[in-house]
Structures are given as C-alpha cells and as structure tokens.
C-alpha cells in the first residue's frame, strides 16, 4: 500500500479528533460557537475529505486495473491538503479575534487546499482514462474484470 493512502486515513482521524474536541468546547460553552467555521471545515474537509482522498487513491486504481498515473502528484496533494487545512482553520479561528494575519492565512490555506483538491481531480481522472477498461469501453466492448494488484490481499 502507498504511504500516502495510510497517511490520508490517519490524517482524517486526526482531523476528526480535533473537530470533535473543538465541538465539545462549543457544546459546553455556547459563546465559543464563533469557532463553528473552523469546526465544520475540520470535520468536512478534514475528516470526510481526507478519508475520501485516501480511500479513492487506493480503490480507484484497483477498480480500473490501472496503477495511479501520477504517484508524485498524490504526495504533493497530501502535504498541500494538510498544510492548507491547518492554515485555513487557524485563519478562521484567529479572524474571530481580529488578528491582522488571519485573512492571509485563510487565503494561503484556501489556495493550498484548492491545490490539493486539484491534484486529486487530475490524478483520479487521468487514471480512469488510462485504464485498459476505459479503452475497451470506448470501443463499445464489455468491461474487463478487475486485474489483481501486486499488493492486493
């Protein structure tokens, strides 16, 4: 299994833990719901998003019998997504206190998060297109069964 698949799944669990921690703080102290934007991005983009990134990067190549076409892009995606979301969440939190650097953090984090999402879209899209099954499908033939992967268990 590629290191970035495990890393995305573990990052997703870390984001879930942080989102739930912040959620509990908000639940106990209702005035702290000013941090809801950070909480919801940690939960949706962090937990849900990173889980989907990890599962899809593992499963799509196996569904289509085609190794990921750009492994390096998935590595760039991992770091862009983590650093991006950390900056985005920190920006949302510090903006509440009027920090002068908050908008910069939100813009930089947003761009990095968008870069991560873009890497994912290109990689998965091109992997599907490079698949021998896609070629058969385009010729109007029947799809092949999934080819076994070297590390499939």
Q: How far apart are CA 1 and CA 6, in angstroms?
A: 8
Q: How far apart are CA 130 and CA 33, in angstroms?
A: 46
Q: Which of 3, 6, 17, 36 binds ligand HEM (CB under 6 A)?
A: 36
Q: How far apart are CA 131 and CA 40, in angstroms?
A: 36
Q: Which of 12, 50, 66, 113 binds ligand HEM (CB under 6 A)?
A: 113
- Give the count of residues interacting with ligand HEM (CB under 6 A): 24
**Residue 76 or 147 with smaller CB distance to ligand HEM:** 76
Residue 68 CB, shortest distance to ligand HEM, in Å, is 22
CB atoms within 10 A of CB 18: 19
- Report H helices in the chain: 3-28, 36-41, 50-64, 71-96, 102-130, 132-138
Return phi, psi of residue 72, to 5°: -60, -35
Range 15-34, binding ligand HEM (CB under 6 A): 19-20, 23-24, 26-27, 33
Q: Which of 7, 11, 18, 45 binds ligand HEM (CB under 6 A)?
A: 45
**Residue 115 or 147 with smaller CB distance to ligand HEM:** 115
Residues that bind ligand HEM (CB under 6 A): 19-20, 23-24, 26-27, 33, 36-37, 39-41, 43-45, 47-49, 88, 106, 110, 113-114, 117
């Amino acid at each position: 299994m590629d290191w970035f698949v495990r890393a995305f799944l573990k990052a997703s669990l870390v984001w879930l833990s942080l989102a739930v921690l912040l959620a509990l703080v908000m639940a106990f102290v209702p005035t702290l719901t000013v941090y809801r934007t950070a909480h919801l991005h940690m939960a949706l983009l962090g937990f849900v998003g990173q889980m989907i990134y990890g599962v899809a990067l593992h499963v799509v190549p196996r569904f289509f019998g085609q190794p990921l076409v750009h492994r390096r892009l998935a590595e760039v995606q991992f770091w862009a997504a983590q650093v991006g979301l950390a900056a985005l969440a920190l920006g949302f939190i510090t903006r509440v206190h009027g920090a002068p650097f908050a908008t910069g953090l939100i813009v930089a984090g947003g761009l990095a998060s968008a870069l991560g999402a873009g890497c994912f879209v290109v990689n998965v899209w091109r992997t599907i297109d490079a698949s021998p099954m896609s070629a058969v499908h385009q010729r109007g033939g029947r799809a092949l069964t999934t080819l076994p992967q070297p590390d499939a268990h």
